[in-house]
Amino acid sequence: METKTAIELAYKRTSEEVYQQACNVIPGGVSRNTVYRKPHPYYAAYASGFKVTDIDGIQRIDFANNMAALIHGHAHPAIVSAVIEQLQKGTAYTLATEAEVEFAQLLCDRVPGFEKIRFVNSGTEAVMAMIKASRAFTGRPKIAKTEGAYHGTYDFAEVSQTSNPTNWGDINKPNSVPLAYGTPQGVLNDVIIFPFNDIERTLAILNQNADQLACVIIDPVPHRVGLVEATHSFIAAVYKWTRENGVLFVFDEVVTFRTNYSGAQEKYSIRPDITAMGKIIGGGFPVGAIAGRTEVMKVLDPRESKILFPHSGTFSANPITMTAGRVAMELFDKEAVLRINALTQKAIHQVENAIKIADVPVSITGAGSMFRIHLKATPPTTYREAYQTKEEVAIVEELLNYLFFTEKIQLLNTCACIFSTVLTQREVDLLSEGLLKGFRLIKPKLNNSQ
């Protein structure tokens, strides 16, 4: 009798059956809400390149890439080989490893503003560490962030992440809105909210809190705000304000580091004091990092007589992640960046043609190797413009379900596409053709919702 393969065993139960068990042991049956869908999530069996096959035997083209984390798609041979080699030597020790130093050197050589770097285990941890380092350096309690911007699940970072017309307040002074029930009022008091790309209003809000702010956090292409790029004038104005007021200017590049060889910050004339990273720099494994100028990063230095920010983490800089990340970023060289960005631009052009052919009120925003589809005739420029009503959310869900079940294409649940280097023109053609059919399907409802 032949031994069953892992793939054959994967088809032993359906996704529906697995979910029934999951609900008995996991709240809602999922450990991250992003994979939940009605009537049940679908469970991956295996993946390779741009293809993901679930335990029901359905294969799909992946334009989600684990929420923008997989720059080279799934199970890239070079990454797999390097990880297996390290795996046989051990996964983590109560010792440092050369793998950490080699990867740190690669990233510091890659980005001009990276003088020192410290690794953690997720983008959320990276933002958390960036905020705490800013407070330690300045001795101030408050932070300022963009309305609607996602910066992970740290309680301070998630304020006003999902604010809506019923609670977001006056645009001249947006409310600090909690995400999780039970968020302390003290947290809300220490988070200042400003409107993205609005220089006059932002500076007025910052001025009211100048002596209390530790840092201003900017995601240069904030996905939840609308995947709209920060303007050069906005970045320059806020940066100048931070120099004048002793406030740190910090970037969240957990998602956007993929947009250029040196991250989204490559486009601007300034250098952030600290940058938070994650996702693609892990090569498919959990990762986070903060990098910046030596003077600021010194708050983490254990050699200092007074350590302002004591920091450790059991799996921080583990050799598996460091090895996978180094290989992934070596593969993501300047040529690879240009190639994936060019293919993404072709995709945007083809989807725009599909929008015209279908004659639907739809627009596109994005940067680098990612773009987002909006059910609005005019591309949004702010969070309040990008905000989706319940009716729009329902139509987006219908479009995504059509693509997922009929066209066998997976996008992010925000109707965004995140490219990987293994995608080709063929997959782009399938995407634009599938979207054309999807646009025609939802057209009657779009017309009724306008």
Domain endpoint, select from 331, 359, 381: 331
User: Same domain for 261 and 350?
Assistant: no
Q: Amino acid identity, residue 183?
A: T
User: Same domain for 270 and 379?
Assistant: no
User: Same domain for 191 and 289?
Assistant: yes
User: Which residues participate in catalysis according to the annotation?
Assistant: 150, 252, 279
Domain endpoint, select from 296, 331, 366: 331
60: CB partners within 8 A, 6+ apart: 51, 52, 53, 54, 404, 408, 409, 410
Q: What is the pLDDT of residue 2?
A: 43
DSSP β-bridge partners for residue 387 = none
Residue 119 forms part of a structural domain: yes
Q: What is the pLDDT of residue 3?
A: 45
Q: What is the pLDDT of residue 1?
A: 37
User: Same domain for 224 and 94?
Assistant: yes
Plot region of 382 (φ>0 → left; ψ -120 to 50 → alpha; else → beta): beta
- Predicted TM-score (pTM) of this structure: 0.95
Cis ω before 39 (30° cut-off from 0): yes
Comparing CA positions, the residue from 393, 350, 358 lying closest to residue 377 is 358
User: Same domain for 30 and 57?
Assistant: yes
* Angstrom distance (rounded) from CA 325 to CA 331: 10
User: Same domain for 377 and 267?
Assistant: no
Domain endpoint, select from 303, 331, 359: 331
How is the chain split among helix, strand and coil, in percent rounded to 5? 45, 15, 40
Say whether 133 sits in a helix, a strand or coil. Answer: helix
Taking only the tens of pLDDT, the chain with its 450 residues reads: 344 455 555 567 999 999 999 999 999 999 999 999 889 999 999 999 999 999 999 999 999 999 999 999 999 999 999 999 999 999 999 999 999 999 999 999 999 999 999 999 999 999 999 999 999 999 999 999 999 999 999 999 999 999 999 999 999 999 999 999 999 999 999 999 999 999 999 999 999 999 999 999 999 999 999 999 999 999 999 999 999 999 999 999 999 999 999 999 999 999 999 999 999 999 999 999 999 999 999 999 999 999 999 999 999 999 999 999 999 999 999 999 999 999 999 999 999 999 999 999 999 999 999 999 999 999 999 999 999 999 999 999 999 999 999 999 999 999 999 999 999 999 999 999 999 999 999 999 987 765
Q: Which domain holds residue 292?
A: 77-331
* Angstrom distance (rounded) from CA 187 to CA 367: 32
Q: What DSSP letter does each residue of 14-42 carry, written as one string? A: -HHHHHHHHHHHSGGG-SSGGG--SS---
Residue 238 forms part of a structural domain: yes
Give the number of domains in the chain.
Answer: 2
Q: What is the pLDDT of residue 319?
A: 98
> How many residues are listed for the chain in this entry?
450
Side-chain half-sphere exposure of 109, counting CA atoms within 13 A: 10
User: Same domain for 357 and 316?
Assistant: no
User: Same domain for 41 and 56?
Assistant: yes
Angle at 152 between CA 37 and CA 242, to 5 degrees: 145
Q: Residue 144 to residues 178, 189, 449: CA-CA distances in angstroms?
A: 14, 11, 35
Residue 1 forms part of a structural domain: no
User: Same domain for 285 and 347?
Assistant: no
Side-chain half-sphere exposure of 9, counting CA atoms within 13 A: 5
Q: What is the pLDDT of residue 448?
A: 72
